[in-house]
């Protein structure tokens, strides 16, 4: 649904006989919005002569106690008096034992003229609030038992929400149309639904048929397929429509008026489907027709990523209605305009909102955020599109203008709060956009496919969607939904960089600071950092989850600049560069490397290279193996930032753990080591603190003369020994006298001659 402009009653808890003042504009979770909703409810009950709470004895049964399987509704409209009369037959299954009542919604402006159970038994109907009626059943119904309830009613519709039911004129003729979202179907027909201001449960979907009786000069359009028309006395016409696809009450619609109509065919691999259009004669021109007909191109664009149009066995239709924007009535969208953004938005809803529906109105972003992102996907995938650049530009145009509310809606007493442009639509779309970048295109669209497979024909919550996303992506994404859907705000980034060369390798030091207001918290996100160098650019993704973090990025040449989140995949409020802020040292190299297997030797030696000069003592390093702790001696080279660690003599074969304690600190600022190892070096999670733990294996039994470790003794081992000797490798201290000289060559020759065991 594209949210129309509506008028919202000003908040006042005082009850007055005069109508409340009118103001224009969205509430968007403004201060006092919840109190305002409460005030409207109290005023409404007082005006109707009802107590502040419904009388005892008629507590509603749970929405999950029953399953409405079918609605058969007939409505006659009387434009002259702006009244209606109707009959609805509800087919209901009990899902619990001992069901003795059934609650439905129908505005109390309507008089109920008849109520029948199972077609013959008169039923007592009690009005418990301005929206709610309770029927006492003729007996207790058990699990799986079905009954019908027929309600005949008449009166004047009392529109709510975005208007819900309109009598007006168009082109000099009467025009009647409906828009029930979110919970205002009860303002014109009796149905099971959640109450006004409540979260509700849209999972109880039913098949439906509707017959509209109107002057025979008018045309009626509705959901599903046409069943037929019947002329009636008095210049009236009964028009029947029906759908075999289940849907929630708020999606049932009709529009009756003067239309020009035409139809085209949508061709897909397995067959064809009619696409029908109902346009006001005064707006019937080639440009408007072309605008609506683009919906078939959109179906083709969406099919690879959303799946086949979900109601292909019936139709898709677009009709003019009097509400501003559009409304995604299932199989039959009402629109006030002809733009691609409006048409693509409402078409996207057929998958996300109609086929899979938000279970509660707090989860409305699962409808509107998805449809808003559908607009961007159309611009990305439409014929002639530039692709990703078009997608990114579309999302930039859909940035929220404020961040102090959550995507998950908690104020349900105001339709403007539920349908918040900033949070439900725009930020909701950005939730999907960011998720797509985090998991990648393939996983993202696999998530949508699995989400549809699990919940089509039903409804889902945010937690349901998050669970599907985590399962398909193979990672726990609850952190993402917690901060971006349930939380408020958005990050603000500040960053700086510094070049450094260590052991011949170029690195760029980067700090990343989150500086958003405290109430927004700290955001966890993977952040792309593009490093510009004279030889080209490279992009590295870092994990950011703290107010200030430091990263050491290996690069091919010194950086000439960096760009954080180059393509704006993150909904950041702002990103600014600043002078680099010094951070903790890291381990950049280790020999043995994490996970390495090294051959045994008469004297074990390890090297640990840091990212900068550090202060370290022997007690900062520990080595444990099969026999327990192994004594180490430390030789630190401040020029190369390298700690050399030696064991007097050979170490037996087995698994060893070398630990560099975070008691090691930077020499310049005494900042503790950032030492955690998760995969490849450099170490660290961006924060001071954390030991570097390196696990490696010493293979055995050690065969000293097999210098190159290839399992064979030959001349290549002499070449290996000579090379290591020239490099000063302690391995070549064959006689363990602490001095590398020619006697070590003699020792090696003797051991070579003795061979390996």
pLDDT digits (tens, 9 = 90+) for 557-586: 999 999 999 999 999 999 999 999 999 999
Q: Are 634 and 617 in contact (CB under 8 A)?
A: yes
Domain ranges of the chain: 62-249, 259-351, 359-486, 492-577, 587-702, 713-757
Interval 112-150: pLDDT, tens: 999 999 999 999 999 999 999 999 999 999 999 999 999
492-502 vs 574-577, strand pairing mode: parallel
Architecture of the domain made up of 492-577: Sandwich (2.60)
Give how far Cα 234 sits from Cα of 173, 217, 486, Å.
Answer: 17, 12, 56
Res 29: pLDDT: 32
Mean pLDDT confidence for 641-661: 92
Res 734: pLDDT: 83
Mean pLDDT confidence for 419-425: 98
* Tokens at 98, concatenated: 């001992």
Interval 704-746: pLDDT, tens: 787 876 768 898 889 988 998 998 877 788 887 878 999 989 9
* Tokens at 104, concatenated: 């439905």
Weakest mean pLDDT among 158-162, 337-341, 396-400: 158-162
What percent of the chain is modeled with pLDDT above 70? Answer: 91
Class of domain 359-486: mainly alpha
Examine the pLDDT at 601 and tell me if it is beyond 60: yes
Q: CATH topology of 62-249 equal to that of 259-351?
A: no
Mean pLDDT confidence for 247-262: 98
Interval 204-230: pLDDT, tens: 999 999 999 999 999 999 999 999 999
- Residues 288, 292, 296, 298, CA torsion sign: positive
* HEC letters along 699-720: ECCCCCCCCCCCCCCCHHHHHH
Q: Which residues pair with 29 in a beta bridge?
A: none
* Tokens at 627, concatenated: 């026999």
Res 756: pLDDT: 75
CA distance 531 to 556: 10
What percent of the chain is modeled with pLDDT above 90? Answer: 82
Examine the pLDDT at 36 and tell me if it is beyond 70: no
Q: For 702, phi and psi rounded to 5 degrees?
A: -65, 135
CATH code for the structural domain at 587-702: 2.60.40.1220
Examine the pLDDT at 477 and tell me if it is beyond 60: yes
Give how far Cα 334 sits from Cα of 241, 339, 440, 551, 652, Å.
Answer: 16, 13, 34, 52, 79
CA distance 41 to 348: 34
The pLDDT mean for the chain works out to 91
Interval 297-316: pLDDT, tens: 999 999 999 999 999 999 99
Of 458, 451, 717, 694, residue with least CA distance to 592 = 694
pLDDT band at 702 (very low <50, low <70, confident <90, very high): low
Interval 45-92: pLDDT, tens: 333 343 444 444 458 899 999 999 999 999 999 999 999 999 999 999
Architecture of the domain made up of 259-351: 2-Layer Sandwich (3.30)
Examine the pLDDT at 695 and tell me if it is beyond 60: yes
Examine the pLDDT at 27 and tell me if it is beyond 80: no
Examine the pLDDT at 10 and tell me if it is beyond 60: no
CA distance 383 to 224: 29
CA distance 191 to 210: 13
Residue 565 Cα to chain centre, angstroms: 19
Highest mean pLDDT among 55-69, 251-265, 644-658: 251-265
Res 2: pLDDT: 77
pLDDT band at 653 (very low <50, low <70, confident <90, very high): confident
Mean pLDDT confidence for 144-166: 96
pLDDT band at 700 (very low <50, low <70, confident <90, very high): low
- Residues 225, 231, 232, 234, CA torsion sign: positive
Q: For 330, phi and psi rounded to 5 degrees?
A: -55, 125
Q: What ranges make up the beta strands (E) of 516-630?
A: 525-533, 536-544, 548-555, 559-564, 574-577, 587-591, 597-599, 605-610, 614-615, 621-625, 628-630
Q: For 172, phi and psi rounded to 5 degrees?
A: 85, 5
Res 192: pLDDT: 98
**Entry pTM:** 0.86
CATH 2.60.40.1730 fits 62-249, yes or no: yes
Res 38: pLDDT: 38
- Based on C-alpha coordinates, what's the Rg of the chain? 36
Interval 482-503: pLDDT, tens: 999 999 999 999 999 999 999 9
Q: Are 274 and 318 in contact (CB under 8 A)?
A: no
């Amino acid at each position: 649904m594209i949210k129309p402009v509506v008028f919202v009653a000003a908040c006042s808890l005082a009850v007055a006989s005069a109508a409340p003042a009118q103001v224009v504009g969205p509430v968007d979770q403004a201060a006092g919005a919840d109190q305002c909703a409460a005030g409207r409810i109290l005023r409404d009950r007082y005006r109707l002569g009802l107590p502040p709470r419904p009388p005892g004895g008629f507590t509603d049964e749970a929405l999950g106690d029953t399953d409405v399987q079918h609605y058969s509704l007939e409505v006659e409209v009387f434009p002259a008096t702006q009244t209606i009369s109707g009959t609805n037959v509800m087919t209901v299954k009990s899902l619990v034992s001992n069901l003795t009542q059934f609650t439905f919604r129908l505005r109390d402006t309507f008089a109920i003229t008849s109520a029948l159970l199972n077609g013959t038994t008169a039923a007592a109907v009690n009005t418990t609030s301005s929206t709610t009626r309770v029927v006492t059943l003729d007996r207790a119904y058990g699990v799986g038992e079905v009954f019908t309830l027929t309600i005949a009613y008449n009166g004047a519709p009392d529109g709510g929400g975005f208007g819900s039911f309109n009598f007006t004129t168009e082109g000099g003729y009467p025009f009647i149309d409906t828009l029930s979202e979110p919970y205002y179907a009860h303002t014109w027909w009796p149905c099971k639904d959640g109450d006004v201001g409540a979260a509700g449960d849209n999972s109880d979907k039913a098949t439906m048929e509707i017959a509209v009786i109107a002057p025979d000069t008018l045309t009626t359009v509705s959901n599903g397929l046409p069943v037929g028309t019947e002329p009636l006395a008095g210049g009236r016409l009964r028009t029947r429509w029906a759908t075999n696809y289940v849907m929630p009450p708020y999606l049932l619609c009709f529009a009756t008026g003067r239309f020009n109509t035409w139809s085209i065919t949508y061709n897909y691999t397995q067959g064809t489907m009619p696409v029908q259009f109902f346009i006001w004669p005064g707006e019937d021109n080639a440009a408007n027709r072309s605008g609506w007909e683009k919906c078939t191109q959109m179906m083709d664009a969406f099919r690879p990523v959303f799946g086949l149009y979900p109601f292909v066995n019936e139709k898709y239709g677009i009709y003019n209605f009097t509400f501003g924007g559009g409304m995604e009535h299932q199989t039959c969208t009402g629109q006030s305009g002809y733009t691609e953004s409006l048409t693509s938005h409402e078409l996207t809803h057929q998958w996300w909102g109609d086929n899979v529906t938000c279970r509660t109105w707090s989860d409305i972003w699962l409808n509107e955020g998805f449809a808003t992102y559908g607009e961007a996907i159309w611009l990305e995938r439409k014929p002639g599109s530039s692709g990703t650049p078009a997608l990114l530009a579309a999302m930039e145009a859909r940035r929220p203008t404020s961040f102090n509310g959550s995507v998950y809606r908690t104020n349900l007493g105001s339709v403007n709060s539920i349908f918040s442009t900033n949070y439900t639509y725009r930020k909701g779309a950005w939730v999907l956009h960011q998720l797509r970048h985090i998991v990648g295109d393939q996983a993202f669209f696999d998530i949508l496919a699995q989400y549809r497979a699990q919940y089509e024909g039903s409804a889902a919550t945010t937690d349901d969607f998050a669970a599907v996303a985590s399962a398909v992506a193979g990672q726990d994404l609850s952190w993402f939904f917690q901060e971006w859907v349930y939380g408020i705000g958005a990050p603000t980034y500040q960053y700086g960089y510094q070049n450094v060369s260590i052991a011949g390798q170029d690195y760029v030091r980067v700090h990343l600071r989150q500086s958003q207001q405290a109430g927004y918290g700290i955001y966890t996100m993977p952040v792309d950092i593009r490093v510009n160098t004279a030889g080209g650019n490279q992009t590295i993704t870092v994990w950011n989850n703290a107010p200030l973090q430091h990263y050491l990025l290996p690069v091919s040449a010194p950086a000439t600049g960096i760009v954080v989140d180059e393509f704006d995949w993150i909904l950041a409020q702002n990103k600014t560069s600043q002078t680099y802020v010094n951070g903790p040292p890291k381990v950049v190299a280790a020999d043995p490397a994490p996970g390495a297997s090294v051959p045994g030797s008469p004297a074990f030696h390890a090297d640990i290279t840091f990212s900068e000069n550090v202060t370290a003592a022997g007690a900062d390093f520990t080595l444990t193996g099969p026999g327990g702790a192994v004594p180490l001696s430390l030789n630190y080279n401040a020029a190369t930032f390298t700690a050399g660690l030696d064991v007097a003599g050979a170490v037996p074969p087995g698994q060893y753990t070398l630990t560099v304690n975070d008691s090691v600190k930077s020499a310049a600022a005494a900042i503790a080591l950032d030492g955690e190892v998760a995969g490849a070096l450099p170490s660290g999670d961006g924060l001071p603190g954390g030991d570097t733990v390196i696990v490696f294996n010493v293979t055995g039994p050690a065969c000293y003369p097999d210098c190159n470790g290839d399992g064979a003794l030959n001349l290549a081992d002499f070449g290996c020994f000579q090379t290591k000797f020239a490099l000063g490798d302690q391995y070549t201290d064959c006689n363990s006298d602490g001095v590398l000289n020619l006697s070590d060559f003699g020792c090696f020759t003797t051991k070579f001659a003795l061979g390996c065991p």
